[in-house]
Every structure is written in C-alpha cells, then in structure tokens.
C-alpha cells in the first residue's frame, strides 16, 4: 500500500517537500493510475527533484488522460511543459514534437487561455535565439496581454522575461529593467509556480550581467541563493545559482569561495550549462597563476560548448605567446558578441594590443568601451572603460591624463567592491607617478597594489610588478626573496611541522589553496620537498616569528 494519501501528497508539494510528495504520488500511481491533474503534478514534482525523464513520461501520460477527458486546455498545457523540460535538456527535436502537439490542440480547439499564452512566450524565446528582437518583443507582448486577461501568471512571467531581453537587444536597458522587475514582483510574491520562479530568478541575474549591472546582479544572486536554500529538494537552477555566486564572489576578491562554488556548479550541471562553471574555474586559475590548470579548465569548457575566450587568449599572453593572443583577439573583435562578453573581449583586446605595440587599435577598443558604458549606464563598465583608457593614455606618453582616468576607475572599483580592479589601477597609477617624477607617490601606490595582490594570491600581477622594479623601489622588492607574504606564512608553518590541513585551519584557507601555495613555493625556490622547504626557512632565518 502507498504510504500517504493524495491530499497529503498535494500538501507536501505546496510546502516544497517535493521528494516526499513524489514518493507518495508515485506510490499512489503504481497502486492505481492517477488522474490527469495529479499526473501533471507528479510530472512537475519529478522535474523539480531532477528526474527529468520521468517528468516527461508523467506529463505525457497526463496529456493523454486529459485529452481523453476532452480537457483541452490542461492537455495542451501538459504538452507545453513536456516541451519545456526537453528543451532545457537540449532534446530539441522531441521538445519540438511536444510543442507541436500543444499548438495543434490550441488551433483545433480555438483555445485562448494559459496554453496559448505559454506558446506565444515560446515563440518569443525562439525569435530571441534568432536575434529577432522586434518579433520577440511583439510575441511577448501578445503573451502578456493574453496571460493577464486569463490569469495565467506563469505565462506572463515568462513573457515579461523574454520582453526584457528583447528590449536589451533593441538598446533600451531602462525599459528592459522595468519589465524584468515587474516579472519578479509576481515571483517574489509567490504567485508563480516553482518551475517558473527558478527560471525567472536565473533570467533576472543573467539580464543584470548583460547590462553589466553588478549591484543588481549581486542583489538578485543573493535572492536566488536564498530561494534555493529554502527549497532543499530543488535540483534545477541550483547549479546555475552557484555559477552566479562564483561570478559575484570572484569580483569581490573571495577567490577560494568562488572556486568552491564553481566546482560545485560544474558537478551539478550538464553540458552546455557546465561550460560557464568550467570557464569561471579557468579564469580563477589564470588569475592565481595556475596556468596548466587554467588551460585544462578552458579546454573542458570548450568541450562542454562554452568558447574559452577571451580567457585563453589572456593565458597565452601570460605565457609569452603574444602573437597567438593577438590573432585570437583580433578575430574575436570582429564577431558580433553582445554584452557582457563584448566587454570582456574589448578589455582583453586593449591589453594584448598594448603588448604588441598597436596603440591605435587599443585606443579604438577603449573608446568603444567608454561609449558602451554611457549607453548602458553601467558603473562596472565605466570602471573597466576608464581603466583601459588610462592604460592606453599611459602607453601613449600622456601620464597626467592617464592618471585622471585611472583614479576615476580606482574609485569606481572601490565603490563596487572589486579589490583586484582597485589594485590593477594602483599599479598603473604608480607608473604614471613615476613618469611624472613623483617617486614617493609611485612607491605608495605600488606598495598598496602589492599588498592587495598578495592577499588575493594574484601571482601573475605580482610578477608584473616585479618586472617593473628596475628603479629598485623598496615597495617592489620581494620582502623574502621571491615569496609573497602569504607564501612566507605557509612555509613557516611547514617548517614548524604542520600538515596542509593544519595550515589551512590556521590561515583560514582551503586545503586546495594551501597545496597551490606549496606548489608555487617549490617552483620559485627550485625545491621539491617539505624538508627542503624547512631548510630554506632556517637558512633565511624565517623560523622566528616576525617582529
């Protein structure tokens, strides 16, 4: 006998206890076939706990049952959701088949309710993928009108999300934000189904990144995180939530936590969605100087369907393969990418063009960034644009003008809470001050930049600082040979006999981060064991506490 009643299963579903609800409903169905509406509920429950194949099967049965009862509207809606789930899994042919069934019912029966509104929303999504913003917006507006008139909240929320993206493509970020916000009012009020609410949260965060709106991206990412945590049975959207968290944490300078979130996301997601998590891991590895690891993550991201650029090109630049990086960035610049990818490409293009001495090309990309920042009214983009413009001006010998743009960028990064951006600006400002003859100011900026890079573990940035140390500035001379302050902390604890786990606990790091520090230490010192590290500590009189 099944353990529970249909009423209990429905109550469990409403309470978000989807695993328990699924167990009860599936047991009841095995005992005696459920009716159409409860089969549809069982299908949605299966989807929410990550059992997609079963979800489609249950929805298919619900469709057949409801069709046999002449419940055309409900049958067509089940067909739509089967198409929705299959599409999210990348099974587009089967999804199109189910969407076709839904359309046929809507046409044959003259339906003008939820199913018709949902299908108009689907039309809008397809047009968006074809870059037909005008057509997508028109279909979305019709879906909103029909869904509002018939009380189909899910259809209205999905359509508003599509309309927001269409408006972004048409260059109207303000109107786009209004549509997305209105959709999220229904979601946060609990008016949308769980399946649609999760998608809406993810879409809202994604739209914030398209607008390069970091404060709102943080806000909606935190809201999505809370929503997911309050629903422990939820499987869809949890992986995407972790990708967004990783992106926010990375900008905030919390690279160990960002890495953990991206690793979890990569484990939860299937291709192509896992590609974004793997790319983020590649970026974090590149920023910390783990070049072979970064290359592996970029390769895996590419295999998952996410192009590994411009990160891979910047890795090639760091490896000294400047010509290869320049070739890739010139190609990428000619491709019609939207934001935020376009911003990433432009920033990388500026850096690589300065490396090859093509000042004019770098200046053009910096100018495009500045124009985009004004159009999108994005503080994040403005910071990136000012930083790139400052670097170009400095390379062109205009140190005083460069300093103005770099100071503006530094203040913007500071306000946004992006320490790596602040430190990069300080490093460039130090070069400006040096060119202007103010060595004291240059030393202060270099010291501040070095401190931040060391805290972050930004080894490539530290290496670039040392390369600029031709004037013998004390701020640039490594305090303990080639090791950073953090690496000295680690090697001292190694010499004291601590294990990696003990070091991680003492320094509030992950064991993986400690292992990475040790790998860097061994490489810098040309040693290969803890015993050799201990000997180095004693040879350099570092075994005594500082001070």
Question: Which residues, 6 or more positions from 407, have their beta carbon under 8 angstroms from its beta carbon?
Answer: 425, 429
For the chain (length 547 residues), average pLDDT per consecutive 10? 81 94 96 94 96 97 97 98 92 96 97 97 94 96 97 97 93 90 93 94 90 92 91 90 94 96 94 94 97 97 96 95 95 87 96 94 97 91 98 95 98 98 98 94 95 94 79 45 78 92 86 85 85 87 64
The stretches of 288-398 forming alpha helices (DSSP H) are 291-304, 311-318, 322-333, 341-356, 359-376, 379-395
Q: At which residue do the structure tokens 């943080």 appear?
A: 218
Measured at the CA of 101, the angle between CA 98 and CA 106, to 5 degrees, comes to 130
| Domain presence at residue 168 | no
Are 328 and 312 in contact by the 8 Å Cβ rule? The answer is yes
> In the prediction, which pLDDT does 261 show?
95
Count of alpha carbons within 13 angstroms of residue 216, beta-carbon side: 22
| Domain presence at residue 14 | no
- State the DSSP H helix or E strand holding residue 337, giving kind and residue range, or none if neither: none
* pTM of the full structure: 0.80
CA distances from 260 to 242, 267, 277 (A): 9, 11, 11
Question: Which residues, 6 or more positions from 544, have their beta carbon under 8 angstroms from its beta carbon?
Answer: none
Question: Which residues, 6 or more positions from 435, have their beta carbon under 8 angstroms from its beta carbon?
Answer: 394, 397, 399
Q: What share of the chain is helix, strand, coil (3-state, %, to 5)?
A: 80, 0, 20
Backbone angles phi, psi at 535, to 5 degrees: -60, -40
Q: At which residue do the structure tokens 């229904």 appear?
A: 186
Question: Which residues, 6 or more positions from 79, have their beta carbon under 8 angstroms from its beta carbon?
Answer: 59, 63, 98, 99, 101, 102, 105, 115
Question: Which residues, 6 or more positions from 204, have their beta carbon under 8 angstroms from its beta carbon?
Answer: 161, 180, 183, 184, 220, 224
Number of domains the chain contains: 1
What's the rounded Cα separation, in Å, for the pair 198 and 358?
Answer: 46
What's the rounded Cα separation, in Å, for the pair 185 and 148?
Answer: 14
| Domain presence at residue 490 | yes
| Domain presence at residue 51 | no
What's the rounded Cα separation, in Å, for the pair 380 and 281?
Answer: 21
Question: Any idea how long the chain is?
Answer: 547
> In the prediction, which pLDDT does 263 show?
96
| Domain presence at residue 23 | no
Task: Give the CATH number, domain containing residue 490.
Answer: 1.10.10.10
| Domain presence at residue 513 | yes
What's the rounded Cα separation, in Å, for the pair 252 and 255?
Answer: 8
> In the prediction, which pLDDT does 258 show?
96
| Domain presence at residue 528 | yes
Crossing angle of helices 114-129 and 72-88, rounded to 10°: 30
State which residues form the domain around 543: 482-547
CA distances from 243 to 43, 219, 265 (A): 27, 15, 6
Question: Which residues, 6 or more positions from 180, have their beta carbon under 8 angstroms from its beta carbon?
Answer: 160, 161, 164, 203, 204, 207
What is the DSSP code (8-state) at residue 334?
A: T
Dihedral over alpha carbons 314, 316, 317, 321 (to 10 degrees): -160
What's the rounded Cα separation, in Å, for the pair 84 and 383?
Answer: 39
Per the DSSP assignment, residues forming a β-bridge with 483 are 480
| Domain presence at residue 393 | no
């Amino acid at each position: 006998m099944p353990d529970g009643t249909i009423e209990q299963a429905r109550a469990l579903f409403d309470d978000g206890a989807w695993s328990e609800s699924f167990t009860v409903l599936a047991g009841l169905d095995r005992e005696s076939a459920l009716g159409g509406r409860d089969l549809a509920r069982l299908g949605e429950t299966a989807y929410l706990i990550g059992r997609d194949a079963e979800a489609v099967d249950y929805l298919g049965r619900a469709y057949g049952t409801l069709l046999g009862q002449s419940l055309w509207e409900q049958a067509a809606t089940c067909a739509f959701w089967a198409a929705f789930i299959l599409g999210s899994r990348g099974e587009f042919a089967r999804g199109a088949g189910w969407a076709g069934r839904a359309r046929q019912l809507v046409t044959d029966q003259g339906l003008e309710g939820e199913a018709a509104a949902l299908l108009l929303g689907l039309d809008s999504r397809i047009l968006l993928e074809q870059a037909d913003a005008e057509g997508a917006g028109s279909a979305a507006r019709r879906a909103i009108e029909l869904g509002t008139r018939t009380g189909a909240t899910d259809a209205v929320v999905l359509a508003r999300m599509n309309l927001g993206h269409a408006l972004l493509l048409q260059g109207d970020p303000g109107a786009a934000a209004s549509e997305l916000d209105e959709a999220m009012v229904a979601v946060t009020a609990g008016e949308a189904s769980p399946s649609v609410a999760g998608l809406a949260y993810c879409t809202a965060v994604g739209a914030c990144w398209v607008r390069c709106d970091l404060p709102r991206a943080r806000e909606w990412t935190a809201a999505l995180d809370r929503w997911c945590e309050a629903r422990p049975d939820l499987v869809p959207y949890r992986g995407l939530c972790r990708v967004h968290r990783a992106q926010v944490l990375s900008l905030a300078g919390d690279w160990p936590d960002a890495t953990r979130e991206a690793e979890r996301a990569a484990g939860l997601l299937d291709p192509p969605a896992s590609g974004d998590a793997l790319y983020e891991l590649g970026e974090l590895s590149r920023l910390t100087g783990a070049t072979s690891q970064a290359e592996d993550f970029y390769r895996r991201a590419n295999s998952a369907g996410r192009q590994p650029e411009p990160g891979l090109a910047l890795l090639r630049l760091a490896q000294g393969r400047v010509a290869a990086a320049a070739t890739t960035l010139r190609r990428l610049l000619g491709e019609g990418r939207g934001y935020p990818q376009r911003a990433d490409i432009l920033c990388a293009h500026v850096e690589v063009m300065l490396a090859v001495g093509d000042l004019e090309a770098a200046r053009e990309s910096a100018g495009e960034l500045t124009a985009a920042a004004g159009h999108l009214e994005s503080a994040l983009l403005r910071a990136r644009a000012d930083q790139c413009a400052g670097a170009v001006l400095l390379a062109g010998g205009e140190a005083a003008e460069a300093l103005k743009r770099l100071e503006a960028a530094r203040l913007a990064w500071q306000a946004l809470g992006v320490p790596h951006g602040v430190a990069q600006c300080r490093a460039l400002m130090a070069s400006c001050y040096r060119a202007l003859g103010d060595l004291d100011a240059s030393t202060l900026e270099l010291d501040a930049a070095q401190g931040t890079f060391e805290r972050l573990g930004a080894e490539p940035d530290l290496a670039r600082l040392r390369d600029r140390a031709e004037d013998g500035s004390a701020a640039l001379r490594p305090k303990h040979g080639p090791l950073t302050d953090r690496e000295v902390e680690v090697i001292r604890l190694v010499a004291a006999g601590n294990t990696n786990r003990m070091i991680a606990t003492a320094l509030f790091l992950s064991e993986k981060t400690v292992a990475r520090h040790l790998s860097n230490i061994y490489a810098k010192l040309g040693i290969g064991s803890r015993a050799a590290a201990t000997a180095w500590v004693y040879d350099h009189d570092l075994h005594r506490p500082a001070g």
